[in-house]
A and B are shown apart, each in its own frame.
Chain A
Amino acid sequence: MAHPLSALLAILLCLGACLGWLMLSGRVLDRLMPERAVLIRPWLFLAPAGLIVAFCLVWPLLNTVWLALHGPNGVGFVGFGNFRLLAGDARFPEAFRTTLLWLAVVPAAATGLGLAAAGLTDRLRGGGLVRPLIFLPMATGFVGAAVIWRLVYDYRGGGGLDEIGLLNALWTAAGGSARPWLTQAPLNTWALMAVLVWSQTGFAMVILAAALRTIPAETVEAAQLDGAGPLRIVLRIQAPQIGGAIALVWSALTLMVLKLFDLVQAMTNGQWGTQVLAGLMFDWMFGAQDSGRASAVALVLLVLAVPLLVLALHGVRREARQ
């Protein structure tokens, strides 16, 4: 019982501290400089949140930049030396290319499949039964998914051992001979991406299905009267009307791919040419204990995320203006 109680106590304390701050600081401000209180008060109220953001987000970011410009353990200024070293190391360009491939394939595939699933199950009798099945993989953590899919891709080496992998069972039934799916590049990266698409299609489907509900029924009816098929209705009539939701799903998936690490780590450990940037960052930080090069990789990831952040901020401003 000690744990929940102390957590509750901590929440109450935090709330109390915030309320106390708002009341006390407001009162002190009124007393000290009543004529400027209106100007200063918003900043005063923002201060606690600002401090937390500064401490938890801004400071780590600045620290990462500082570390990226220094040697291992932050000793010795090296300028852009870490980036030069990364560029000269065969592993970095490989991980960079692999990450770009993930960014190009996974968000598009998961969003597309999710949209198709949302649109088709909407007009399907029994669609309500199909959706939970598609959504179910979402409830599986990446490491859990990795364990399951490692069994699907399992390969026993053909030395007389019985193959137990599902994919090899299908493959051999179709006339092929068992293959090591996870250890042959570039096929293995596609095998890994399939797992993420499998896991995230449900997420895309749920969001997009909710968005589809908001579309006026008349537009769909009009299209049906004009003789449009179901796929055409999804792609030409409905999709354009839920552009915002699609963009949201797409960018959420893109961010997820950028920080993707656990799935690759658990399935191939980044070997056989499957390493992604987040995994490379982990290797440099905790394998080689070089905070400099690990931070440099982190900054590359950040730069890749910048276009998305700009787009998101742009969207927020536009909404605020409306």
Chain B
Amino acid sequence: MSIFRKAVLGAPLCLALLSGLAAAHDLVFPPGEDARFHWAAYEAFAATHDLRGQHLSVDGPWGGIDKQMFESVIAYFEAATGAEVAYAGGDGFEQRLLVGVEAGAPPDVAIIPQPGLAAELARRGHLAPLGAAIGAVMRDDYAAGQSWLDIATFAGPDGAPALYGLFYRVDLKSLVWYVPGNFTDAGYAVPRTFEELQALSDRIVDEGGTPWCIGLGSGPATGWPATDWVEEMMLRLHPPQDYDRWTRGALPFDDPKVIAAIEGFGTIARSAEQVVGGPEGVAATDFRDSPRGLFTLPPRCYMHRQASFIPSFFPAGLKPGRDFDAFYFPAFSAFSGRGQPVLGSGTLATITRDSPAARGFLDFLATPIAHEIWMAQSGFLTPHRGVNHDLYGDPVQERLSEILLGATTFRFDGSDLMPGAIGAGAFWTGMIDYVGGASAKVVAARIRQVWDTLE
């Protein structure tokens, strides 16, 4: 029985009422009530983790509504262990973390969105290796567990590889958004293979429509949606090992394999028929405005490839599942032996200052309940197979989760793994130049040239 329940049951009436009110505020789903949650695992966690009187500071990139969501998860940890958690969170997290680390005053637990940054901190000895138990959860309970494990395994200060992070909350990229009604009206079926997708695109063109909406505009980050496209093409045209070598810099950027991936993106983005507005429209359109073409009458485009967050930019009042839906950006049937590669990103929970409370918090984030509390409230994807997927509120979230769990290979957003001068610089510029008419060869050689000058 959890400490929380003991407190509620054992207290006098008025106190119970008061704490009941507090609990209604603190714990969004009263423990033990809704049978869809894994309360037994929660109780087991509480029974083995007594951290009364301990304080824990946590920092991460989530602010606003996400901060509220994460704090609602943290409340369960506090109730179960008696520890007090302070979550800072919000914009400027990377700077806060780096300054804190340099000044010798980091948070106890840091939730890091870029594996590259976590690897750098691990190399400099600022992260504590996580135990085998956490590794076992990721390997055994996460879909494509080995992929996740590999991404979170870095060389420590002594050069020995160890697990330094637990993936908690992920974003999914390999998605094509569409309006089911438009597909039914035109008699189109959701394509299961890349070949079918190409056939569907050509058919839409033949019937006078435009298949795709693409927008590369994103203010100071203009160009990044194109890097996602190229990464998806890399994963579909070549084995995942090539993708890994490419993001590490071992496969040169102007290798024919990379050029083929860029040109794969170009067959759509540089075509006047395949994409709304042609290449000029692709370059000039903001990625947030781009999906609106799906919802016009008649539709300006039928498909939009973008990550799981994009519905936030859809017109208001649309019903998920009825007014929009998503399907897996399919793989080539010609390479069916490679299974279903999925591209995405995610946040890594790491220990920046070791303590029993920090270890306990990581143990908590590995339990299903830490995932279920958030996913039952709002957009939250997890590769954890041990969570109850009935808790997803809407059918589209469920579909995304199915795609994530069906992944045989998971790869992290490559531009986040590359050096900043490439992944947040030359790669963006190169893609803009490519859409503007430069040849893939020239663009790739230019990016390689910059990469060669980095240490």
Picked from B276, B419, B429, B454, the residue with its CB within 8 Å of the CB of A157 is B276
- The residues of A that contact B424 with a CB separation of less than 8 Å are 287-288
Determine whether the beta carbon of B421 is less than 8 Å from that of A157. no
Indicate whether A112 reaches chain B with its CB closer than 8 angstroms: no
Q: In the complex, A180 Cα to B453 Cα: how many Å?
A: 34
Q: Are B281 and A159 in contact (CB under 8 A)?
A: yes
Chain A contributes a number of interface residues (CB within 8 A of B) equal to 28
Binds A, one of B123-131, B134-142, B197-205, B215-223: B215-223
B436 adjacent to A183 (CB under 8 Å): yes
Q: Which residues of A contact B285 (CB under 8 A)?
A: 156-157
- Check A135 for interface membership: any CB of B closer than 8 A: no
**A288 contacts which of B223, B278, B281, B420 (Cβ < 8 Å)?**
B420
Q: In the complex, what residues of A have CB within 8 A of residue B276's CB?
A: 157, 159-160
How far, in Å, is B315 (CB) from chain A's closest CB? 14
In the complex, chain B residues whose CB is within 8 Å of the CB of A90: 446, 449
| A266 nearest CB across to chain B (Å) | 8
For chain A, residues 280 to 320, give those with C-beta under 8 angstroms from any C-beta of chain B.
283-284, 287-290
Q: Is B420's CB under 8 angstroms from A158's CB?
A: no
Q: A58 on the interface (CB 8 Å rule)?
A: no
User: Whole-angstrom distance from the CB of A80 to the nearest CB of chain B?
Assistant: 14
- A115→B296 CA distance, assembly (Å): 51
User: Nearest Cβ distance between residue A119 and chain B, in whole angstroms?
Assistant: 40
Residue numbers in A under 8 Å from B436 (CB-CB): 183-184, 272
Chain A residues positioned under 8 Å from B419 (CB to CB): 288
| A91 to B430 alpha-carbon distance, docked (Å) | 11
Nearest Cβ on chain B to A243's Cβ, whole angstroms: 41
Is A206 on the interface with B (CB-CB < 8 A)? no
Decide: A72 and B449 in contact? CB cutoff 8 A.
no
Residue in A closest to B293 when the chains form the complex, CB atoms: A159
Asked if A247 is at the interface (CB within 8 A of a chain B CB), the reply is no
Least distance between A309 CB and chain B CB atoms (Å): 31
B425 to chain A, nearest CB (A): 5
Q: Is residue A161 within 8 Å, beta carbon to beta carbon, of the partner chain? A: yes
Q: How far is the CB of B249 from chain A (nearest CB, A)?
A: 14
Asked if B284 and A156 sit within 8 Å, CB to CB, the answer is yes
Given contacts A159-B210, A271-B223, contact A89 B449 (CB under 8 A): yes
Q: Which of B210, B284, B296, B421 contacts A180 (CB 8 A)?
A: B284
Interface set, chain A 240-286, CB cutoff 8 A to B: 265, 269, 271-272, 283-284
CB-defined contacts of A184 to chain B, threshold 8 Å: 280, 436
Q: Is the CB of B432 within 8 A of A271?
A: yes
Which residues of B have CB within 8 Å of A10?
Answer: none
Residues of A within 8 A of B425 (CB): 283, 287-288
Taken residue by residue from 75 to 119, chain A's Cβ proximity to chain B (1 for < 8 Å, 0 otherwise) reads as 000000000010011110000000000000000000000000000
Given contacts A90-B449, A161-B300, A265-B220, contact A271 B455 (CB under 8 A): no
Given contacts A283-B425, A288-B419, contact A183 B283 (CB under 8 A): yes
Q: Note all chain A residues with C-beta closer than 8 A to B113.
A: none
Instruction: Decide if A212 is an interface residue (CB 8 Å cutoff).
Output: no
Determine whether the beta carbon of A72 is less than 8 Å from that of B277.
no
Residue A142 CB within 8 A of the other chain: no
Query: Do A157 and B281 touch across chains, with their CB atoms under 8 A apart?
Result: yes
Contact surface of B with A, Cβ cutoff 8 Å: 210, 219-223, 276-278, 280-285, 293, 296, 300-301, 419-421, 424-425, 428-429, 432-433, 436, 446, 449-450, 453-455
Of all A-B residue pairs in the complex, the 8 with the closest CB atoms, nearest first, are A157-B281, A157-B277, A288-B421, A159-B276, A159-B277, A85-B453, A287-B425, A180-B280
11 contacts between A and B (CB under 8 A): A91-B429, A156-B277, A157-B285, A159-B276, A159-B278, A161-B293, A180-B284, A183-B436, A269-B221, A288-B419, A288-B425
